[in-house]
Amino acid sequence: MADRRDARRRRAAPRRRQQRTNGACRGGAAWRGPFSREVLLDAGVCSCGCCTARRSRRTVELGERRSASRRSSSVARRVAARAEPLQVSSDTQRPAVLQVILSREFAGTERQVAELAQAIGERGWRSLIAARADISRDARRVFDSAAQVVDLRGDSRAGLASAVARVLRHERAAVVNGHLGAGTAAALGAGILAGVPVVSTLHFIAPRHSQARTAALQRPVYRAMLRRLDAVIAVSNAVGDYALAAVRAHGPPVHVVRNGLRDLPAPDQRSRAASGAEPVVLFVGRLSPEKQVALLIEAMSNGPPNARLWIAGEGQERERLRRLADQLMPGRVALLGFVSDIEGLMQRASVLAVPSRGEGFGLVALEAMRAALPVVGFAAGALPEIVEDGVTGLLAERLRRILADPALASSLGAAGQRRFRRLFTADRMAAETEAVYQAVIRRRTAAPVSA
């Protein structure tokens, strides 16, 4: 009997191999299950169970998955164990909030995180910032002056989330706020591990990864991540529209909280250069294509011949802009690089130009309004929410007009400063952000515990 069964198996083997290659068993069943079709085809597994290797192959695959999971957990534990001991605050009576920002550069978003952390601390919270240990010197200086800074080491996502979770537990944080994609991912993972509500602040109309080559793969992951948050904060209505489309109907609530800045002890009427001096147009920001600095140079080349352009910032387009400036405006464009004293530049400039058409908020426009400096830009992105056209600035290609009329420039600057003090202070931003924090804490506390 055994010999006859072995003979039948040998005769049927070629036919079964052909049927597996065609993606079906003798009964014509389709491929199903948790594994890819290619894996099953190689293993000789079909959904009807006629292939005897199915059960053993699934056991092996599941075992490999569990082993990989255990290895990942072990790596995360070793990363956490190697981390430096946390300096836990002795003041645990006040609620703690942790801002997570993992970018290494220092630009408008990083400045805004520092403003928020300091303003929240002034409202009675224990304010902390979790940042990479290798952040720039300028970011370190600004963060240290705003809040308690916790250094995060390593690049693995599991290690960063685990490190942030340790901070949340040690500081008994009430809420964690992620910024930008990497910061939000680490905050979400840490919040799940530590059982802490997670908020994300969106700073851009489209995330930074939207221009990367892998954007098509990253966008669905980013949106799925946003839907798992307790709340989303958008820095403008323009960003809020993107956030609402991303989280959809059943996602977390989206709150618009516009950025704010601390006021400066400066007089309303600034001492500008003498009326006969050359007018100066100022640009502040990254030298990247979306900022459209080249368009600004081309526009100024057709403007007043005595006007000068100051460009403060670094970026990938620096050399291209230098060549364009030498061609169109020789001797009238100064590429200043990174400048820490932006307020000093604004005191000496005649007008701030914001040529970008996609600003998520435009923090530099707010800084100009605080300094009573008129703003010229496009009526695009979030800029119309900040600048009132014809009142605090000009939202059109009217640079020539403002440079030729000092009285108009002074009037627009003064109106912009009044609008800043009414709508865009750091205290107002902190109060509205605090309301979001308290709401997510209440919802998390009141949520029924599932069995």
Statement: residue 185 has pLDDT above 60 = yes
**What does pTM read for this prediction?**
0.70
Question: Tell me, what's the pLDDT at 222?
Answer: 82
Q: Which CATH class is domain 280-424?
A: alpha beta
Q: Where are the domains of the chain?
A: 2-82, 96-261+431-446, 280-424
DSSP character string of 227-266: HTSSEEEESSHHHHHHHHHHH-TTS--EEE----B---S-
Of 405, 374, 416, 372, nearest to 275 (Cα)? 405
CA-wise closest residue to 412 among 396, 424, 394:
394
Do residues 219 and 210 lie in contact, with contact meaning Cβ atoms separated by under 8 Å? Answer: yes
User: pLDDT (tens digit, 9 = 90+) per residue, 396-435?
Assistant: 457 777 787 888 888 888 888 889 898 899 999 999 999 9
pLDDT tens by residue, 292-350: 899 889 888 887 888 899 999 888 899 999 999 999 999 999 999 888 888 889 989 98
Top pLDDT among 50 and 202 is at: 202
pLDDT at residue 196 is higher than 50? yes
Which sign does the torsion angle of CA 208, 214, 220, 226 carry? negative
- The dotted CATH code for 96-261+431-446 is 3.40.50.2000
pLDDT at 378: 75
Band (pLDDT 50/70/90 cuts) for residue 38 is very low
Pick 362 or 172 by higher pLDDT. Answer: 172
Fold match between domain 96-261+431-446 and domain 280-424: yes
